[in-house]
Amino acid sequence: MNTLIVNGRHVKAREGAMLLEVIRQAGVSLPTLCDHAALEPWGGCRLCLVDVTRNEWDGWAKMVVSCMFPAEDGLIVRTDSPRVVETRKVVLDLLLARCPDTPLVQKLARDHGIEQTSYQPNPEPTDCVLCGLCTRVCDHIGVSAIATVNRGAGREVAPPFHEAPPDCIGCLACAEICPTSCIPFTTSDSKRTIWGKAFEMVRCTQCGRAFITKEQAAFYDGRNGVPASYFDTCDECKRRAQAQQFSRLSAGAGR
Amino acid sequence: MNSISCADGQPMEAILERHPREEASLIQVLQDVHRAYSYLPCDVLVQVAKALDVPVAKVFSVATFYKAFSLDPQGKTIIKVCTGTACHIRGSGQVIEEITRQLGIGPGETTSDMGFTLKTVNCVGACAMAPVLIVGEQVHGGVKPAKVAKALNQEGHRDAH
Ligand code: SF4
Ligand code: SF4
Ligand code: FES
Ligand code: FES
């Protein structure tokens, strides 16, 4: 097992772990925007940066993004060296200039001593921090209906050609994962809309509640061995049915 | 964004023949498509996505990332004026003004007969020749506004044959 030193504390790291995990294990908190337990690390927000060095490096240290840096044996990590603190502040300052009105960004900035951005605030404020979580979760489920488009200051998340994305199944995973809740959607018992695309809902044959879109049901039909009949009932009704079955079984066993 | 009509599919089929049908071919295919059509028509992008088995969103992402790609129809001849530091100092601004005076288009615009599109680019790596003007594939160095007409005509001349 690899042993590292995080802010002076010895920590043991799981094989294959990245630094960020080990840092959190050591009880040290780091701000992050693009990291998510269910997704591969991406290194997009640059907030998780730290200094790493080794005894044999003679005092030389390098700054790395901890979410993507393997927790190798013998690494000495500092999350609070002056240059790391300063660089993290620059990243937050820039982020606040991009998203001056976004509560989450304002809070992160304030937590690091920034009340107001020292840059020119974005004349067209946006809540999107370009963390890439939405596009990555959509890739992860195997749909890839949205992606980042353009580059530099004009970069944004969008469906192809800025039109209703043909591949989108309306699962809302992108909207749910968005840290600033900036992907608009509507959902009701009959209809759902997201990214300018409208979806019809599938109703539970037991309780009548709408629980997924027709496109979602079609997408999962036959995939990973899910039979079409799986979507006849909603999760709640499935749970209830299962609980009833268990209680029947245990009642039988008790006799 | 312009609404783009269906393009002739023939060049695209020939392009797809030339490359392995895999994601790694994407940029090369897009470059060839751009050369054949002078821009990336959206219906062609959709077909490229299908052929290479890459999500359309990814193709659109790549197509909008590189400055060398345009999603809007462009003129037959692309005029590029370098506005990098050296060219800027040596008068690329006047070169642009002269082109605008002659063709009636500003940077990023296309003449109504689809003959020319004017673009500005940053340092093309020939600073010793500043200011640099590229008309089609022809590179002109040390351009003075007075030389613009000739550079443009040469290209028009070539097209006529
Ligand atoms: S709602 Fe559409 S775009 Fe969002 S994650 Fe689901 S499939 Fe992808
Ligand atoms: S829309 Fe939300 S999840 Fe997607 S990149 Fe922007 S902030 Fe991140
Ligand atoms: S969490 Fe590491 S770069 Fe975003
Ligand atoms: S600035 Fe124009 S070629 Fe370098």
Each residue of A192-244: pLDDT tens digit?
A: 999 999 999 999 999 999 999 999 999 988 787 888 888 899 989 999 988 98
Q: Which of A200, A224, A196 is nearest to A210 (CA)?
A: A200
Query: pLDDT band for position B3 (50/70/90)?
Result: very low
Does the pLDDT of residue B1 top 60, yes or no?
Answer: no
Cα separation values, A133 from A33, A34, A169, A207, B111, Å: 9, 6, 17, 33, 41
A97 touches ligand 1 (CB under 6 Å): no
The CATH classification of domain B77-160, taken from the options 3.20.20.210, 3.40.50.1110, 3.40.30.10, 3.40.50.150: 3.40.30.10
Query: pLDDT band for position B6 (50/70/90)?
Result: low
Cα separation values, A16 from A62, A124, B81, Å: 21, 41, 51
> What is the Cα–Cα distance from A222 to A232, expressed in whole angstroms?
14
From the CA of A133, which ligand is nearest? 2
pLDDT of residue A254: 53
- Structure confidence by residue, pLDDT tens digits, B63-107: 999 988 999 888 889 999 999 999 999 999 999 999 999 999 999
A137 touches ligand 1 (CB under 6 Å): yes
> What is the Cα–Cα distance from A133 to A178, expressed in whole angstroms?
7
> Within 6 Å (CB) of ligand 4, which residues are found?
B 82, 84-87, 123-127, 130, 132
CA of A105 from ligand 3 middle (Å) equals: 15
Does the pLDDT of residue A24 top 80, yes or no?
Answer: yes
Query: pLDDT band for position B156 (50/70/90)?
Result: low
Which is more confidently placed, B76 or A61?
A61
Q: Which residues of A touch B58 (CB under 8 A)?
A: 144, 147
Mean of pLDDT over chain A: 94
Does the pLDDT of residue B4 top 60, yes or no?
Answer: no
pLDDT of residue B8: 75
Least-confidence region, from A19-28, A63-72, A243-252 = A243-252
b/e per residue B109-146 (b: at least 16 CB within 10 A): ebbeeebbbbbbbeebeebebbbbbbbbeebbeebebe
Average pLDDT on A141-162 reads: 96
φ/ψ of residue A112, rounded to 5: -110, 20
Report ipTM for this prediction.
Answer: 0.86
> CATH 3.40.30.10 spans which residues of chain B?
77-160
Mean of pLDDT over chain B: 90
* Chain A nearest CA to B133, separation (Å): 25
Does the pLDDT of residue A58 top 50, yes or no?
Answer: yes
The CATH classification of domain A2-80, taken from the options 3.10.20.740, 3.40.50.2300, 3.40.50.740, 3.90.850.10: 3.10.20.740
- Atom index in ligand 2 nearest the CA of residue A177 equals 3
Average pLDDT on B116-144 reads: 94
Least-confidence region, from A51-55, A153-157, A220-224 = A220-224
pLDDT of residue B2: 41
> What is the Cα–Cα distance from B31 to B35, expressed in whole angstroms?
6
Using CA coordinates, name the residue in chain A closest to B1: A161
Q: Which residues of A touch B3 (CB under 8 A)?
A: none
- Structure confidence by residue, pLDDT tens digits, A93-106: 999 999 999 999 99
> What is the Cα–Cα distance from A178 to B84, expressed in whole angstroms?
39
- Atom index in ligand 1 nearest the CA of residue A169 equals 7
Element (H, E) at A97: helix A82-98
Tokens of A188: 């009701």
pLDDT of residue A119: 97
Does the pLDDT of residue A130 top 80, yes or no?
Answer: yes
Does the pLDDT of residue A253 top 70, yes or no?
Answer: no
pTM of the model: 0.85
| Cross-chain residue pair A147–B65, CB shorter than 8 Å | no
pLDDT of residue A37: 94
Tokens of B17: 């023949």
Query: pLDDT band for position B160 (50/70/90)?
Result: very low
Q: Which residues of B touch A146 (CB under 8 A)?
A: 57
Chain mean position to CA B77? 8
Average pLDDT on B117-134 reads: 95
Percentage of chain A lying above the pLDDT 90 cut: 84
pLDDT of residue B7: 63
Query: pLDDT band for position A247 (50/70/90)?
Result: confident
